[in-house]
Amino acid sequence: MADNEIDNSASIRPVPVAIDSRLALDGGSPVRQSPWPTYDRGAVCVYPEDEEAALRAIRSHLYFRYDYRPAHETECGRFEAELCRYFGCKHALATSSGTTALALAIMAAGIAPGSLIACPGFTFAATPSAIMLAGCTPFLVDVDEDLHLDVADLRKRWTSEIKGIMVVHMRGFAGDMAALLDFADDMGVPVFEDAVPALGAELGGRKLGTFGLAGAFSTQSDKSLNSGEGGFLVTDDSALFARATVLSGAYEGRLRRHFPDGEPPIPTDLDLPLLSFRMDEIRAALLRSELERLPIRLAAFRTNYDYVASALADVRNIQIRRPVAPGAYLGEAFIFRVPGRAQWFARALCHEGIEARNLGSDADTNIRAFWNWRFLFTGMATAAVQDLLPNATRYLQEAVDIPLSSTLTQADCDHLIAAVRKVAEAAAGQP
Ligand SMILES: Cc1ncc(COP(=O)(O)O)c(C=O)c1O
């Protein structure tokens, strides 16, 4: 184990944290004095062996994945093979970003430009942006009280112009895949998974990203696999994979390298434009090295999350986000709802030294709240946009979101628990 990796293997018990019952917001002492270790800020989960891997690629002077080498001798080709083993899927394609992976999935599925693609009103703005990049139009759907895409709402709003559904496993929580796949099957449209926030998370023992026709991931800098920029696509559909590969920029027969045991399942690579959404060899080398340690990092997320969630389960005035099935979350974010008080609650937590955000705060232009996607609603007033998805609006306005870095120590978790209890108690005592 590296020095800066935490050992969460031992069972941990809450440690009482001495607290001043007066809120820091009201001049009391904060629960925590040091900054909350939010996300990785690029640095903490990259190890000397990862640097060596990247240097190996740099020193090779072979930076382009499609030079003279066969795929199994390239970093990108090896990374893709390792991803197939990790996800238990037939195909993986390394891409330039999560957004391009999402767009490639839609385009390679043959969805006609101009079609509507349904997606939830709670996601990062990259989801509707990727739908637009694929030449389609985002069709927003409400979310339920646990912030999952609401399949009943999708059924209610359904129109025959919707040609695909993009589920998002937002903040690491799995969408309700059984209900969604059944519904999509009835409607005869594919499901794509924006699994960017849920790399490595599972639902019923199966990795998120492998339920739909294709799943997309990002390797941008604050993700569990971090190459600064980058992403990948996973799928079992060979024709979709072949088209996505050409679209990503495999020209003049290079597609064949992805099918070493036979002919590619599409007749020609000349029917599709080349969009240059490829990954390069340096990033792939870095990611291959990081992938080896991913299970350790995922275990740390899970241990921290379960520790915090079980210690706060009895707090009556917060409603902790519920997964669609036991264990169907990554553990990278602790989210709860505080109807009527979320903005104040998040602010009080920040004063206690815990980085917390009210997802639907009107004082914070959070790009995960659909009414801030001005590019979709030119000229509309915020209230009119919010009326389009009343439940997403309400539940985001009620939600408090706290990032749980995989590097949190037990002391960090104890601070978080103490701070949430302190603020919740203060809230209970107020009118
Ligand atoms: C839900 C979601 N989808 C897509 C993306 C886009 O990934 P990228 O930044 O690699 O394009 C992000 C980025 O954070 C995201 O959170």
Reported as a single tens digit per residue, the pLDDT across 3-34 is: 344 444 445 566 667 778 899 999 999 999 98
Residue 39 has pLDDT above 80, yes or no: no
E strand or H helix at 166 = strand 162-168
Pairing state between β 206-207 and 202-203: antiparallel
Split at pLDDT 50, 70, 90, the class of 272 is very high
Same fold, 24-40+294-428 and 48-289: no
Residue 58 has pLDDT above 90, yes or no: yes
pLDDT at 9: 46
Q: What percent of the chain has pLDDT over 90?
A: 90
What's 35's DSSP letter? P
Cα 107 to ligand 1 centre (Å): 18
Query: What architecture does CATH give domain 24-40+294-428?
Result: Alpha-Beta Complex (3.90)
Cβ atoms of residues 359 and 396 within 8 Å: yes
127 lines ligand 1 (CB under 6 A): yes
Q: Which residues pair with 320 in a beta bridge?
A: 336
Tokens 């955000």 identify what position? Answer: 357
Torsion angle (degrees, nearest 10) of CA 73, 79, 83, 85: 30
Phi and psi at residue 273, in whole multiples of 5°?
-75, 160
Query: What architecture does CATH give domain 48-289?
Result: 3-Layer(aba) Sandwich (3.40)
Residue whose C-alpha is closest to residue 166's, from 212, 135, 124: 212
Taking 3-state DSSP, the helix, strand and coil percentages for the chain, each rounded to the nearest 5, stand at 40, 15, 45
pLDDT tens profile 82-104: 999 999 999 999 999 999 999 99
196 lines ligand 1 (CB under 6 A): yes
Split at pLDDT 50, 70, 90, the class of 415 is very high
Residue 346 has pLDDT above 60, yes or no: yes
Amino acid at 356: A
Cβ atoms of residues 105 and 117 within 8 Å: no
Cβ atoms of residues 416 and 354 within 8 Å: yes
Cα 374 to ligand 1 centre (Å): 18
**Residue minimizing CA distance to atom 8 of ligand 1:** 98
Split at pLDDT 50, 70, 90, the class of 222 is confident
Cβ atoms of residues 304 and 404 within 8 Å: yes
* Sequence spans of domains, the chain: 24-40+294-428, 48-289
Which atom of ligand 1 is least distant from the CA of 100? 11
| Vertex 340: Cα angle to 150 and 37 (nearest 5) | 80
pLDDT tens profile 372-405: 999 999 999 999 999 999 999 999 999 999 999 9
Residue 113 has pLDDT above 90, yes or no: yes
Looking at every residue in the chain, the average pLDDT score rounds to 94
Helix (H, G, I), strand (E, B) or coil at 318: coil
96 lines ligand 1 (CB under 6 A): no
Ranges of H-type helices in 136-231: 151-157, 177-187
220 lines ligand 1 (CB under 6 A): yes
The CB-side HSE value for 281 (13 A sphere, CA atoms) comes to 19
pLDDT at 41: 55
Q: Which of 196, 222, 283, 332 to mutate to test the pocket of ligand 1 (most atoms within 8 A of CB)?
A: 196
105 lines ligand 1 (CB under 6 A): no
Q: What is the rounded distance in angstroms from the CA atom of residue 207 to the CA atom of residue 361?
A: 32
Q: Which of 147, 199, 220, 332 to mutate to test the pocket of ligand 1 (most atoms within 8 A of CB)?
A: 220
Return the higher-pLDDT residue of 20 and 173.
173
Average pLDDT over residues 270-297: 97
pLDDT at 3: 39
Average pLDDT over residues 198-226: 96
Average pLDDT over residues 144-170: 98
Give the distance between the most distant pair of CA atoms in the chain. Answer: 71
Q: What is the rounded distance in angstroms from the CA atom of residue 323 to the CA atom of residue 188?
A: 27
Average pLDDT over residues 340-359: 97
Helix (H, G, I), strand (E, B) or coil at 364: coil
Helix (H, G, I), strand (E, B) or coil at 50: helix
Ranges of H-type helices in 158-280: 177-187, 238-249
pLDDT at 327: 97
Cα 311 to ligand 1 centre (Å): 31
Tell me the residue ranges of DSSP E strands in 323-391: 333-337, 357-358
Tell me the residue ranges of DSSP E strands in 278-342: 319-320, 333-337
